[in-house]
Amino acid sequence: MYLLNRSPTKSLHGKTPFEVWFGRKPNVRHLCTFGCTAFAKTTGPGVNKLADRSLPGVFLGYEPGTKGYRVFNPVNKKLVLSRDVIFDEKRRWNWEEKAAAEHNAQLDPQFIVVHSDDLPAGTIHNPTIDPDSENVQSDSGGHLQTDGEQEQAQSTSAAAIPSEGVLQAHHLILLSVRWCHRPCRISSGPLHRQVKVLIQKVFR
């Protein structure tokens, strides 16, 4: 609207709607590319000597009735009204970057622990029974009783770390590997055994 009132129209010959309405020519020196990255001066209390002097945001137009630009900061979701703005008109705001950042915050690699048996089939080899803990009685609940699990538990495989190719295929990045003990009951006998399960921290 702001721009269209300052644009030529076929029915007015050589004049803009602005000129006909206000009787003077519009000044367009202040125009800037919509949606470009803009740095608005931070003002007000709480700005100390070493604080950032501006905050980046997205330029979203002109505030009516004020000689100021509207700069939206997608990070703190605030609209800043400022006349002290530096524009980087060639640079778009990376909206995905923000979305990605949010996404990453939810999936902080520090807190992602994927059990080997949670990964897609064929990703990781069987959990391995630790020979040392065979005779250790389990004292906690949470028995793993699925048939697959039992079979897996019985087979002893040493190569439990997935290969890089497998990880890449599932878009996973291996961060660390550790062993932990899980109680498990083997179907053939009543014996409760601790089973060593491979736990990987992965970054999805």
Cα 84 versus chain centre, distance: 31
Q: How far is the CB of 68 from another protein (least distance, A)?
A: 14
DSSP characters for 38-99? EEEEP-STT--TTS-SEEEEEEEEE-TTSS-EEEEETTTTEEEEES-EEEEEEEEP-HHHHH
**Pick from 151, 134, 138: nearest CA to 188:** 151
Which residue number, 94 or 187, has a Cβ lying nearer to another protein? 94
Structure tokens at 75: 């990070």
Distance, CA of 110 to CA of 107 (rounded, Å): 8
169: contact with another protein by CB under 8 A: no
Q: How far is the CB of 94 from another protein (least distance, A)?
A: 8
57-86 residues in contact with another protein (CB under 8 A) are 58, 60-61, 70, 72
27-56 residues in contact with another protein (CB under 8 A) are 33-36
18: contact with another protein by CB under 8 A: yes
* Contact residues: another protein, CB under 8 A: 1, 3-5, 9, 11-12, 17-18, 20-21, 33-36, 58, 60-61, 70, 72, 92-93, 95
